[in-house]
Amino acid sequence: MVRIVAAVVLLCVASPLVAEAARPNVLWFVVDDMSANFSCYGEKLIETPHVDRLAREGTRFSRAFTTAPVCSPCRSAMITGMFQTSIGAHHHRSGRGVEKIHLPDGVVPVPEMFQQAGYFTCIGDGLPGGGKKNERGKTDYNFEWNPKMYDGGDWSARKPGQPFFMQVQLAGGKLRGGTSESARKLAERARKEFGAAIAPNSVTLPPYYPRDQVLLEDWAAYLDAVRFTDQHVGKVIARLEDEKLLDQTLVIFMTDHGISHARGKQFLYDEGTHIPFVVRGPGVPKGVVRDDFVQQIDMAPTSLAAAGIEVPRTMQGRDVFGSGKPRDSIFAARDRCDETVEHLRSVRTDRWLYIRNFLPQRPHLQPNAYKDGKSIVQSLRTLHEAGKLNELPERLLFAPTRSNEELYEWKTDRFQTQNLATDPAHAVTLSEMRGRLDHWMTATNDLGREPESEKMYDSDMELYVGRGNKKDSAVTRNIELMKQWAKDGK
């Protein structure tokens, strides 16, 4: 079994939350494909009163980041409190074929820990009726796990007085779909439910995206998806209030990674890794904004500690309300996504973001059937081929190769457009950041340091092909390209 090096783990420290409310309920909001575009985080085009309420009545973390900018590695890390790279779950949608992935000895999914402590464990949409239908929410873990670690789809099925651990899984940015047609349908739904949809021309895009109508409509629909997400949060909060449960429930709101876009989801820039993270509940400081680093893997130890459950010493996440020293750096990783082979690592400090591209001879937008099926990516490729993009998107999105190292002063360079890695003035900083990343990869036993075996790759790819549709044809071509590039040393 895989060895977990203890160099970066924390001792279990009792959370101050326990003293004020023993055995609280714990509820996680886990949202797909959404950045911190909430009004409490400064978004101006929309209002999100329900997430804002959680922030007002609890603690909002301004510097929250995911350890993986794509669903399954992030969720595998989230549910174990471990870096996905330490548990072998770093490749997206891996271990789904004949070849399986098993957790290292001593690593136990959080729901099992809650279950063993007498909690009712459930995962669904958080609305009345979920328990009766026994509908389960999204899991998407890259390792073998026991479905019985969830007792049901809703807390209504628990025994009288039994505390619950609930995950409310929301579609988030996926509500807008991947096509212009689906984005327009969501805009129409917004007009019906909210009285108006976000006007595409009012949207401000990151500077590396052209003001193309397809992209503007998509981003507007994405903001409407944020509004629908906030609406759902409000319904769950109202239910907790109606059932007299809100004040005895620790609520954590977060998203699994940033917006699905050409430089967002799947990549290690802020657009892909910066997430909202808001906590409300018994003993949680109210109306506080914290600027220290937190990551999504911190949900596990924070929740366990609040419930009085011992936090495993090998767990790499931290209780955000514990007494430990704030982090001075955080880390993220991206590996294979679907059929597309990639290998990225990053370290972030208070000032600097360092990204290492282990496959720099490949372009940023490698062929990928999932992303290439999106209207926004198709439009970007069309504009590129027609020579209608300006220098910035051409350089950041369509250069045939990439630098093997990237260095950004991320607080002043908000969109990470100026790579300072080749600037001699920053040579000392570059060396320091290299050292930090190297140390982390060794200390946490980064299993991505070795390429995925062809046997495992082929096992997972069998699930992607063979259904005879256009997407499968694209996947097959991409698989062949990935293997050819690997042979060519690219």
CA-to-CA dists, residue 220 to 50, 215, 254, 375, angstroms: 20, 9, 21, 14
Asked whether the CA dihedral 216, 386, 378, 401 is positive or negative, the reply is negative
pLDDT at 470: 58
Residues of the chain falling short of pLDDT 50: 1-14, 18-21, 131-132, 134
Grouping H, G, I as helix, E, B as strand and the rest as coil, residue 230 is helix
Residue 135 pLDDT? 67
Report how far residue 307's alpha carbon sits from residue 309's, in angstroms, rounded to the nearest whole number: 5
* DSSP assigned state of 188: H
User: How far are the Cα atoms of 65, 280, 298, 361, 410 from residue 61, in angstroms, in the given order?
Assistant: 10, 12, 12, 37, 17
User: What local confidence, expressed as pLDDT, does residue 130 receive?
Assistant: 59
Residue 448 phi, psi dihedral angles, 5° rounding: -85, 0
Question: Given this model, what pLDDT does residue 465 score?
Answer: 87
Residue with tokens 């950004």: 408
pLDDT of residue 65: 98
The confidence score (pLDDT) of residue 469 equals: 58
Place of tokens 């190292």: 405
pLDDT, position 472: 78
pLDDT of res. 131: 47
Q: Superfamily assignment of 6-10+25-320 in CATH?
A: Alkaline Phosphatase, subunit A (3.40.720.10)
Residue 15's pLDDT is what?
55
**Facing residues of 405 across strands?**
356
Q: How far apart are CA 228 and CA 224, in angstroms?
A: 6
Count other C-beta atoms under 10 Å from residue 322's C-beta.
Answer: 20
pTM for the whole thing?
A: 0.94
Give the three-state DSSP class for 408: strand
Helix (H) or strand (E) holding 228: helix 213-242
* CA 119/CA 260 separation, integer angstroms: 34
- The DSSP H or E segment spanning 471 is helix 470-487
**Distances from the Cα of 248 to the Cα of 21, 94, 124, 131, 320, angstroms:** 7, 37, 20, 20, 19
